[in-house]
Amino acid sequence: MVIVRYPDKVLRQKAKPVEKITKEIFDLAESMVKTMFDNDGIGLAANQVGVLWNLFIVNLKPLDDQPEPVVVINPKIIKQEETIEDEEGCLSFPGLFLHIPRYKRLLLHYQNLYNEKIVIEADGLVARAIQHEYDHLNGTLFIDYVNEKEKDKVKEYLSNLKSV
């Protein structure tokens, strides 16, 4: 699969709920997991591969030798606690890393590929990745959260895109 890069318009579009889990959804999820790992990512939203379904992949053990990718369908963040700012990147913005404020802990409600309703508690890097991918599904990008100090970095990155 090819990862969509900014400024592709699909990255600003809101994903649609997954109504029924089909073979197509299974195949998409499998391809997305492979694509995420092939690109050294810890998360990947469906619209990052050009598909407007409310689905993302996140690795629950990003710093472990035994990765644990999870398919998250129709997610809803139901609780968030304590904000922390840390560095973040995005597969749709190769080479750009920004300090972004995110919640340190959260509670996520979602469906898995077997239509089971799941609730997980996440913190640290996993919570950050979940929020990042969740934002993608709503057409929100990490550059939307940039602080004043890093606005010039974003402007320079975007101007380099235009000159390519």
- Catalytically active residues are 133
DSSP letters along 64-106, please?
Answer: SSS--EEEEEEEEEEEEEEEEEEEEE-TTSTT-EEEEEEEEEE
What distance lies between CA 140 and its chain's CA centroid?
10
**Calpha distance 135→54 (Å, rounded):** 11
Report the chain's terminal Cα–Cα distance, integer Å.
Answer: 23
Amino acid at 106: L
The DSSP letter of residue 115 is S
Count of Cβ atoms closer than 10 Å to residue 21 Cβ: 18
Is 90 part of any known ligand binding site?
yes
Is 109 part of any known ligand binding site?
no
Of 46, 58, 56, 57, nearest to 1 by C-alpha is 46
Q: Which residues are annotated as a binding site?
A: 90, 132, 136
Q: Which residues are annotated as a binding site for Fe cation?
A: 90, 132, 136
